[in-house]
Amino acid sequence: MEKLKIGIFDLTDCEGCELQILNLKGKLLKLAEIADIPVWRLAKTPTEFGPYDLALIEGTPMSKDDIKLAKKIREKSKKVIALGACAHLGGIPAALDEKKRDKFLREIYGWNYKSSSVAAKPLTAYIHVDYFIHGCPIDLDEAEKVIVDILMDKNPAGPSKSVCLECKERENPCLFLKNEPCQGPITEGGCKAVCPSNGLRCWGCQGLVKDANVGAMEKNLKKMGYENQVENIMGAFTKQDESKE
Ligand code: SF4
Ligand code: SF4
Ligand code: SF4
């Protein structure tokens, strides 16, 4: 039987999600029994450029080269997965206040620096994406489920449930009781509520849960005394996921 072809690509990113894929370890070796991975810059020298049965794209398209590469991958791939919050939402780069971009660039690189980067947007701003693996970084169980389901020709989309539900399942004390502005109520679960389970607030890296009441969260933050930090708190990831608002 001819092996499937999978390409793993990165645009502008920290490579954390690809490292998570490497952490699949033995399962990755199992995958190698049925699929070839001819392109994966992090792990090997590329041996060919498509076509692919499946392409996983990590990172935010932030340059003309990134956008060109994303379009080329799309043309050559039957199915495309956005890997992690950078590809899904725009991620950490999209949290930047665009009005301040020039100021930051000058402060970091000096007055003569000419940037060729563009504003950070999700991958869907440039190409059609078939599936998403959420998170910053991705959750390994979700990654495994999505990849296996797609390879078995099944739709990997599960029911939408919030981080709060997973948090309650773990009997964590709610951070709201400590006046912590946790984004769990409006955030898609799947990460096993890893942040609140470790005493940290959820910043919403999985994107918005279906029917998220973003307006109510904004009002709550203001009531809690965070009126000057709403943009900062929700801008990290929540405000990037405009598709579900
Ligand atoms: S989603 Fe997070 S971990 Fe993944 S590449 Fe982007 S910044 Fe890194
Ligand atoms: S700590 Fe956060 S995720 Fe957990 S129940 Fe409270 S609001 Fe929801
Ligand atoms: S708890 Fe929130 S910020 Fe933490 S991994 Fe889950 S979705 Fe992301």
Compute CA distances 30 → 35, 78, 124, 176, 196, whole Å: 9, 22, 30, 43, 33
Enumerate domains of the chain plus CATH numbers. Answer: 4-151 (3.40.50.700), 163-244 (no CATH)
Cβ(135) to ligand 3 under 6 A? Answer: yes
Please report the atom of ligand 3 found closest to the CA of residue 139.
Answer: 5
- How far the first Cα of the chain sits from its last, in Å, is 45
Counting from 1 in the atom list of ligand 1, the atom nearest the Cα of 85 is: 1
- Which ligand 3 atom is the nearest neighbour of the CA of 167? 1
Gyration radius of the chain's alpha carbons: 19
Is residue 124 left, alpha or beta, with left meaning phi > 0 and alpha meaning psi from -120 to 50? alpha
How would you write the pLDDT of the chain (245 residues) with one tens digit per residue? 788 999 999 999 999 999 999 998 888 888 888 999 999 988 877 777 889 999 999 999 999 999 999 999 999 999 999 999 999 999 999 988 888 888 888 899 998 888 888 999 999 999 999 999 999 999 999 999 999 999 888 988 777 899 999 999 999 999 999 999 999 999 999 999 999 999 999 999 999 999 999 999 999 999 999 999 998 899 888 887 765 54
- Cα of 89 vs centre of ligand 3, distance in Å, is 14
